[in-house]
Amino acid sequence: MDNPILHKLMAERPLVLASGSPRRKALLEMLGLRFTVHVSDVAEDAPAGLSPAETAVYLAEKKAHASAAGFSKATLIAADTIVVLDGEIIGKPADRSEAIAMLRRLSGRTHRVYTGFSILKTPEMQCVSDVDCTAVTFNEMTEAEIKAYVDTGSPMDKAGAYGIQDQSAVFINRIEGCFYNVVGFPLARFYQTCQPFFAE
């Protein structure tokens, strides 16, 4: 690893991804990072009154701190991605019918994807967090297209019932902002946040 910031991210102490998302795991591996995965069982709920950006950061920090108890000395990375349409957070679909309903709402419209992330060092409990936002515009989708995509099973574990990196890519007209943020982890924002945190 030639990059000094990413090298230090791994060199100081073990690196832990506090997320079970295969997309986040693949993105961090793409950077050349070596880490273990630890998933904490925390409720993904936040206090009322938070903005979407604040909600994403709150949940990321909640996951990081919940996982921290299992590591006496480590750097933990946690994240949370939310989809927002008309000011409403759209979570993961509970079943096929809910996935179809979500995609009907997104069809032909622009929504926003927020990914908050938190980097936590133990035992110091030194933490830095940030959030990125990307606007995603869908083309109009037919009922047959929506149902065929839902039948692939891909939407069921994803906020907003779609994954921009899978078959739903053919429905997306444009994005404004970071592509990787929509996948589940804003790599450029993460790197920018790491620079002052690990530059000392």
Which tens digit of pLDDT belongs to each residue from 133-157? 999 999 999 999 999 999 999 999 8
**Annotated catalytic residue: which of 2, 41, 45, 80?**
80
Is 80 a catalytic site residue?
yes
Domains present along the chain, CATH in parentheses: 4-198 (3.90.950.10)
The closest of 119, 141, 19 to 74, measured between CA atoms, is 119
Helix spans in the chain (H): 4-11, 22-30, 52-68, 96-106, 143-150, 179-183, 187-198
Model confidence pLDDT, tens digit, residues 176-194: 999 999 999 999 999 999 8
Question: If you average pLDDT over each of 41-45, 64-68, 129-133, which comes out highest?
Answer: 129-133
- What number of other Cβ atoms are within 10 A of residue 3's Cβ? 12
State whether residue 74 is helix, strand or coil: strand
The predicted model scores a pTM of: 0.92
Number of H helices, E strands in the chain: 7, 7
Q: Are strands 74-85 and 15-17 parallel, antiparallel or unpaired?
A: parallel
Mean pLDDT for 2-17 is 84
The packing angle between helices 143-150 and 96-106, to 10°, is 140
**Residue 46 confidence (pLDDT):** 85
**Residue 70 confidence (pLDDT):** 83
> DSSP state, 93?
-
36 contacts 18 by C-beta, under 8 angstroms: no
